[in-house]
Structure 1
């Protein structure tokens, strides 16, 4: 403590004051009075030094605590319930410690999630890349039949398109997760949005001879981003088309009230097994009825887009009877 310059100056000042006061008392009163003043000064200086030493010990303890925090040890607790600036400082340090601990935990979770994502992506890319490498080797054979050559070329093109779609979808999902995409808050007329979402699926539905029924008020709307919401609906409708048999029916209804705008998409297809329902919006999850070549990313993207716009999506399904998606866009954050 005495190595600190401010303590040295304080002690020197107090001693000078004590000596001066004792001298004045001796000159003005008596030797006994000067002795009393001197002893009283010594007691006051001692109490001051003891209190200062206590405060410095507390500050030193906080300093050691901060060093342990910097080394990654967040287990210590220096809280107390006393009053005063030192106690307030202790509690503030504890709050910062909790924030740092939570931040460290979130970073660790992000690292694990990133590792899992990279593993999933590499797994998804491994199969088409291996297939293309094999077909590329076969194409290098000059004796290969022309019909086989054309077949392998088409297969390579299909695999490349699949990889392109996967990379594009993952990039979009990553931007949504990172919060770098700013969704617009514009009036979206639901019937117009549904028409845009259905357009890319008209040919697949015609091939399977499926019929589409759209019902609801033509004036239904909500505040959101038209293009991104169309992409979410395309992924949901695509799922319905793929899991509905030839000649099936896909229904879309829309309604609006004071709390939310609701869109319901329903099919009479195979349905989703009960054990798969809690996981269908999980990235890369493929249920028992997933088609061959499915990546398991379309519904995950739809979920991220909808929930990022103050929306919610739920699904109900009965095996062999069909699936129903309930989408709600809330008018206010509750």
Structure 2
């Protein structure tokens, strides 16, 4: 019973059903008004015809016997004075002239005319009502069919040409639900098509980047191997060539591994494992990864931990976040002069963790700030890197639900700020 009531409620929310119900109500009201007016008119006609007939009979009787005229008029004015015996005598006399209940109405002039008018009026009213209802239903059908056709054409245009839906329908009822579902489908299709184009462009750019970056070391390796194969070099040069080949191979391996990491992260093909781990452990891990580079360049890496009350565990993937921090620290070390210092610190609130890495280098020019997180982008002050460390760090941070920003300090040097949420953000698909 509850399902029936819910279905009836949903049915009544349809504008077409409400319009049809209103039309039927108006039609039945008009029919009732027509029948009432027709009854009044028929009653008046019957009354006039009956009075004319009685007047004619009185005139006829007065010519034959004036005394009966007064008695006839008195009986017409006071029918209650007639006794049952008078009614029975009248019936017997009427039967002698064929005036019985079996007499057909067509032989009674007054009733015959009334019957003809009634049949004609009812037939005309019935066909008029059916015609109006049919026209209204056809109009409603064509209206809904036109809306459905427009939705279909708009959806087809979206699928074929990746355009926004040109036709939108906002109304209640089943058609409104259908239109809303079609519009949502079109939006999802458009997003999917756009995502496919982005993935295609990403794959194309990645392949182009890999081929471009590998072209130079591969050419160097080819030259060195050709020289070694010819045997026209001494032992010292051969050893140097082999060391160079080893470095180029290591560089190529690092380049390919880094590009694959970025690609897997951007394609959501890598699942991060978020665990509540103290930030100090992750920072120490990242500092150890670049300690040798810092020592070789004569740069001191200082870690400034926060107060003990603010050094609680933060949900993150220690391995990947340590790699992101290591790339930031490596970038800071490469751009800090010998004898300088790279500072690492962080603070936590009830909502997020903010961790910063700052150096004492020349800073970042304003024109480079919008581009430093792009793959293979190198500023004029760039070190020996190829421009993949910062994009990888940014991708890792964003996969944690955070953000990474860069700025130049007034006192000199650059500052990278990493912000991570302390609580998991709700999935947009479940909202």
TM-score by length of structure 2 reads 0.62
- Cα displacement (A) at 1:67: 4.4
- Cα displacement (A) at 1:318: 4.8
Give the number of equivalent residue pairs: 305
Higher strand residue share: 1
**2:283 counterpart of 1:197:** no
2:363 maps to: 271
TM-score by length of structure 1 reads 0.78
Measure, in 2, the Cα distance between the counterparts of 1:169 and 1:303.
13
Measure, in 2, the Cα distance between the counterparts of 1:253 and 1:61.
59
Measure, in 2, the Cα distance between the counterparts of 1:267 and 1:73.
47
| Structure-2 change in CA distance of 1:121 and 1:44 (3 Å) | farther
Which runs of no fewer than 5 residues in structure 2 stay unpaired? Answer: 1-113, 426-431
- Cα displacement (A) at 1:288: 1.0
1:148 maps to: 237
1:245-279 CA distance string (max 9 Å, x none):
22222222233333333323222223322322222
2:8 maps to: none
* Superposed counterparts of 1:216-255, under 5 Å: 216-217=305-306, 219=308, 220-221=311-312, 222-255=314-347
- Is the Cα contact below 8 Å between 1:273 and 1:288 reproduced in 2? no
Measure, in 2, the Cα distance between the counterparts of 1:202 and 1:94.
56
| Structure-2 change in CA distance of 1:97 and 1:217 (3 Å) | closer
1:216-241 CA distance string (max 9 Å, x none):
24742422111111111111111122
Which runs of no fewer than 5 residues in structure 1 stay unpaired? Answer: 1-28
1:262-321 CA distance string (max 9 Å, x none):
3232222233223222222222211111124x2111011111112322333332325993
Higher relative contact order (CA 8 A, sep 6+): 1
- Cα displacement (A) at 1:31: 6.7
Measure, in 2, the Cα distance between the counterparts of 1:255 and 1:325.
14
| Structure-2 change in CA distance of 1:91 and 1:30 (3 Å) | farther
Measure, in 1, the Cα distance between the counterparts of 2:245 and 2:411.
35
Matched residue SS, 2:365: coil
| Structure-2 change in CA distance of 1:286 and 1:55 (3 Å) | same
Higher helix residue share: 2
